[in-house]
Amino acid sequence: TAGITQYLYARHGWFKRDIIKATVGSYTNRPSRADCLSAPTCTYTEEINNYARWYTYYRTRLGMMKTSVGTSFLSFIGNPTGTPPKPNSLRIGLVTMHAQDSGSVIPAKYLKISDFNTTQASNFYTKFYTQTAGSFTPLQQALARAGWIYAGQLNTGLTAGIPTADDPIQAACQRNFTLLTTDGFWNQLATYPPQTPAARTIGNLDASPSSLLGSTLVDRAQTVTLDGPGSSSTTVTPTSSNSEQKICQGNNNVVFGIGNPGGTVTCSCQPKEHAIRQEDIQTARTDVFNNGVLVSSTTATNPVVTTPGGCQAANWTQADTPQTVQQDKLCVDSGSSSVAFADGTTKSCSPCSNGRYVIIRQTKTQTNTVITADGVQTQNSITPIGTPAYTYSTDGTNFSGTQPSGSACSSSSIAITLSPNPKTTNNTPVLNTSGSGTALTLWSPNPQTTTGGTVTSTFTAGGTASTVADVALYYYQTKLRGGKDVYGDATGPQFGPNTTPPNTVDLSTDSIDVKSGAKDFVPYQHMVTFGIGLADGLMRFEPGYETASTGDFANIKNGALNGCFWTAGSCNWPAPANDTNANLDDLWHAAVNGRGTYYQALNPDALRQGISAALTSLSSVVAAAAASATSSPNVTQTDNQIFSTTYETNTWSGNLFAQTIDPVTGAVNPSHQWDGDQKLLSRVSAASDSRNILTLDDTGVGSKLKPFAWASLTATEQAFFANKCTPLTTMTQCALLTPAQQVTANDGSQMVGYLRGWQANEGTVFRDRVVVDPITGATSNTVLGDTVTAQPVFVRNPTNSFVDAVTPSYATFASANANRASRVYVGANDGYLHAFDGATGNESWAYAPRFVLPAMYALADTGYPSQHRYFADGSPVVSDVYDSAATAWKTILISGLNGGGRGYFALDITDPVNPKGLWEFCNDSTLCAINDADLGLSYGDPVVGKRSFDGKWVVVLSSGLNNVSPGSGIGHFYVLDAITGAVLNKVSTGAGTVGTPSGLMKIRAFYDAPATDATFRFAYAGDQLGNVVRLDVST
């Protein structure tokens, strides 16, 4: 049987089975159980089912993670083509901790970042649910690999096997996040080190404060470290100083008079320079700290000499004198004798016979240079010229250039007559030069005594290198595209394949819009790190750690002495190492350094909430909305208001506010006259409100409007808001609610109340609309929805000069409404068109289009912050028209929804206090009496005027964006009766299909005399297929 695998099957033995049996009829004290019909009491069947669910899905950390991620991510799946459409809110990818095998990323452990739509979600869940636990935990390298992906450093090193086409950066303003979830016990750091995009190992980056970090959560004085214990510092604090100044020249000595005895130093300048040298006899205290704790303090007095202002040019002279120098030496031969001259050269006596004498004369030429500064000599130097010459004499008087030899040398000693010997003779000409410099002035009094001085510190960092926190800090502070990192290495490529157009958008620019003082304030491409820990570390976690004034994180942030049990001295992050509890805190530290948020999840509910909170906070920003509106096109001292909107994306709340414009400079006064959202807050309470919110009344009686209130809605309309936790998957929070809370969530009257601004169920049953300031931690309630693209429109008195031959005339109409109250109309993504009083900011009324009602429940979903969608996001168009049936001029408002839906609505706002409904036109026959399937998302601006062939007042609309299913995708113009909304003409452009819809949107009409006559013949529009189309309304 060689080569055949052998199997051994156990056929008998000892096996153990645990059986859970009921000992009582029911189980009490279970208040948080949503699965028990009679909570807080549960039956045996409910308990055993609960145990089975725990055993199947939650008994291991990996199982808990898979289940919690699966349910948390579900509500973030986008479906732009669904009914109603749900826009993509996030782009999500996946890379596991053990992503590589044999140096290449395994396809089963990686999913490229893409829009989290139904297709991407299916791929994500398929790969995520098949993951198994590894035998080691290389957190640092895993986080660095995510950084490489954002840096576009692909198909090499840590990302080998990931195609370069997977570069996730689409624009320079894109924000990038990594959510790292783990039990945190990292290990095998030496085998799997974290690397920069240049493949350099990331070191101890957070050992000392960085100038980039500014005033943030992790900065504090340098007496402690930012990364674990082990730091030391020395601080020198001067207490007094006795000081004296002296002027010196060149490198001459300076003698100070202070001290006992006075000190002597050199001037240390060039020969033509002078300086002020200052001696400070300083008494200072030296303090030595270890981990922020003072370990020694000594006081000593030491002289310190400085040169304030440095060396400077002096008044100088220089004399260069040519010289001749002669020296005689008597030489007697005694076999191997020689003579040595003053410059060190030697000459041999051996040519003479033994015992014979000769005088050897050395003659040299040189230049003597003498320099003075301020009249004080600073240099006297000799510069040799050429080589010495030698002559010889046997009588002491006559010298010859020929050296005598043998018996020609004198038999007796010869007297040297050269005097002095050596002899220096000055020659001519002497070269004299000079120059002027800067005068120096000593202080007064001199000497003088001072108290205190400059404190100096030296710091030696502690902590641990290559931690998860170091990796997070590196990829946060580094410009990941087209930049240089802290090591001087180039980062990722400046251009990427997935920008529009590809490989031409500069990704190195500072294009991210950041909020002053925010936690994440880097304007260039970087990575923010969020962490979810599945176990306890040494630190005690609290959800509000960032703003808490007490607790372990606060003690670390403030460097509190003896504030942490794990280290003596100043409280600091626990020092991580392979497989230690401190590594759990390193994940927390990474979220702080990476400017994200840390969540601790020790149970499934906390894990789901942490994941949802992290995903929700990814796009939290405050932004300016669309263009502003002014109270008059001609700004004057008394008519100078401007109305603007802003919105915040954590709660998707908005604000409309009024300011004034300086009519001389055009500058906008920064102070607000009123804030619409604050005005709205005063109109709502826990379970009631005083708002006038209206919707269309299908009965057509009176104003054709009715209150948007539960009792006023039809049964069909009430169904839009009732039973939104049946099934439990309809809203994100349903499965987490108690049975009693689910009853409230299913109560349509409570849902309508919430949508009107009621606060009783906010944060418990329905979405929390409270804004938390990321800087101060202050909270505030909100009511008004965000206004992303909707522009406000100001309406007061009629402003045209129409000359239509009708009764009453336009002039009569304008005169009757000359003092009409002002209103600012603005659409918002709370589902309403709002009418604000231009003078006071009070909301006069709001209107909810009927075809928006079915989707408005999504505003109560706790997952809405990351699943934001549009509702009434269109900009209203206001025009005066003549109603021939009523023989009256009217001011009407027409608005689409932009991305909020496939329809338009019209209101009669002639009376700004009591509006009237005119019509709604949408693509859904169950919601609108006037409808057409080919109407898409209403991004087009309505055109109002008179047809040229019959003078009828009409509204021209376009078929808009994505007019598919049940539409054809073909572009269309719609010509509607301005008063009734009846479709007079539907004109096809002939362009577009279901696969490639036309996208016919913005329309402009041509008027011959728009101020006096609203008649137009042609309307022009462009579509997304590149066509420009003209509509002829003359026939």
Terminal C-alpha separation, the chain: 95
Q: Which pLDDT does position 958 carry in this prediction? A: 97
**Better-scored residue on pLDDT, 891 or 462:** 891
pLDDT at 213: 42
Distance CA 98, CA 142 (A): 8
Contact 428, 322 (CB under 8 A): yes
Mean pLDDT value of segment 170-184: 88
For residue 625, how far is the Cα from the chain centroid? 20
Distances (CA, A) of 907 to 795, 876, 1003: 13, 10, 21
Smallest CA-to-CA distance from 689 within 826, 846, 836, 827 is with 846
- So what's the pLDDT on residue 453? 80
- 549-566: b or e for each residue (b if 16 or more CB lie within 10 Å)? eebbbbbbbbbbbebbeb
Give residue 624's pLDDT band: very low, low, confident or very high (50, 70, 90): very low
pLDDT at 261: 54
Can you give the residue ranges of every domain in the chain?
1-57, 137-214+465-617, 232-313+439-459, 316-435
Output phi, psi for 748, to 5 deg: -60, -30
Checking if the pLDDT of 631 tops 80, the result is no
- In this prediction, residue 778 carries a pLDDT of 63
Residue 222 confidence (pLDDT) above 50: no
pLDDT band at 152 (very low <50, low <70, confident <90, very high): very high
Q: How far apart are CA 62 and CA 69, in angstroms?
A: 10
Q: What percent of the chain has pLDDT over 90?
A: 57
Alpha-carbon distance 884 to 946, whole Å? 12
pLDDT digits (tens, 9 = 90+) for 260-305: 556 788 999 999 999 999 988 888 888 876 655 676 788 888 888 8
Cα 773 from Cα 82, distance rounded (Å)? 35
Nearest Cα neighbor of 856 from 927, 923, 913 is 927
* CB environment 320-349: b (16+ within 10 A), e (fewer): ebbeebbbbbbbbbeeeeebebeeeeebeb
pLDDT tens, residue by residue, 724-734: 999 888 898 89
pLDDT band at 471 (very low <50, low <70, confident <90, very high): very high
The arithmetic mean of pLDDT across residues 351-367, rounded, is: 92
Per-residue pLDDT averaged across 504-529, rounded?
A: 84
Q: Which residue has the higher pLDDT, 605 or 964?
A: 964
pLDDT tens across 719-760, in order? 999 999 998 888 988 988 888 999 999 999 999 999 999 999
Residues with Cβ within 8 Å of residue 104, at least 6 apart in sequence: 160, 161
Instruction: Read off the pLDDT band of 441 (50, 70, 90).
Output: very high
Q: Where are the beta strands (DSSP E) in 223-336?
A: 232-249, 253-259, 262-266, 273-290, 293-306, 312-313, 316-332
Full-prediction pTM beyond 0.75?
no
